[in-house]
């Protein structure tokens, strides 16, 4: 699986958009980009995934660059409850295993 690089931590003001970047420069053509988050002491929670098109769901939007070497998770209106560690993971098409890196600690401040 391709490796990912994320900033260690980020701050965001409550009500503003949180933009979390992820680099995956060695991604191959059939690998998906997944985002999970882990709120303190809870199990990781699925947020969104995509292959090459931008995706949006009720939680977030995922923007993948045209060359697919990086992506951005967007939380449009961050709340205090969005404070968590966010993991960007690249996984193969039929490959089962997820490997979690260090993630980005997002601190949403009032």
Distance CA 40, CA 103 (A): 13
Alpha helices in the chain (DSSP H): none
Residue 43 lies near other proteins (rule: CB under 8 A): yes
Residues in region 67-106 near other proteins by CB under 8 A: 92-94, 96-102
Contact range with other proteins by CB under 8 A, out of 10-18, 31-39, 62-70, 76-84: 31-39
Residue 53 binds other proteins (CB under 8 A): no
Based on the shown chain and the rule CB under 8 A, indicate whether residue 49 belongs to the binding site for other proteins.
yes
Check residue 5 for interaction with other proteins (CB under 8 A): no
């Amino acid at each position: 699986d391709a490796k990912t690089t994320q900033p260690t931590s980020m701050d965001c003001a409550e009500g503003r958009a949180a933009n979390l970047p992820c680099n995956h420069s060695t991604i191959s053509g059939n690998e998906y980009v997944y985002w999970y988050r882990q709120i303190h002491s809870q199990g990781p929670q699925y947020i969104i995934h995509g292959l090459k098109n931008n995706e949006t769901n009720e939680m977030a939007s995922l923007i993948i660059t045209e060359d697919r070497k990086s992506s951005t998770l967007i939380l449009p209106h961050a709340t205090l409850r969005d404070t968590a560690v966010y993991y960007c993971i690249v996984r193969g098409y039929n490959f089962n295993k997820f490997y979690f890196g260090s993630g980005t600690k997002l601190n949403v401040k009032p």
